[in-house]
Amino acid sequence: MTMDKSLRIRKGSSSARGVLSRGERIEKLKEQERWTQGRSPLGLPKVRVVKMAVKKKKKAKEEGEAAAGGAKPAAGAKKK
């Protein structure tokens, strides 16, 4: 039996989850020093999930302009 496309786990979506499992939430609480040993794992406090936005690099854009426009003139060169 095949799996529906909407249920498949994609490679890129695994890093941008909005919900953490119970074990992951406990690890975050330990990092923030909000977890005490012997505490019940039920009813955990909320843990903020930080999502990182990836920006495109300007370097790739500049390389594309340099290739299209040819070599740039020197700073002190005169234009004809």
Choose between 38 and 70: higher pLDDT: 38
pLDDT tens readout for residues 8-64:
776 655 556 778 899 999 999 999 999 988 999 899 998 888 777 777 777 666 666
What are the distances in angstroms from CA 68 to CA 20, 44, 56, 71?
Answer: 46, 56, 19, 9
d(C-alpha 31, C-alpha 38), whole Å: 16
CB atoms within 10 A of CB 63: 11
Asked if 45 and 80 touch (Cβ cutoff 8 Å), the reply is no
Instruction: Name the nearest CA neighbour of 41 among 14, 19, 21.
Output: 21
- The pLDDT of residue 17 is 73
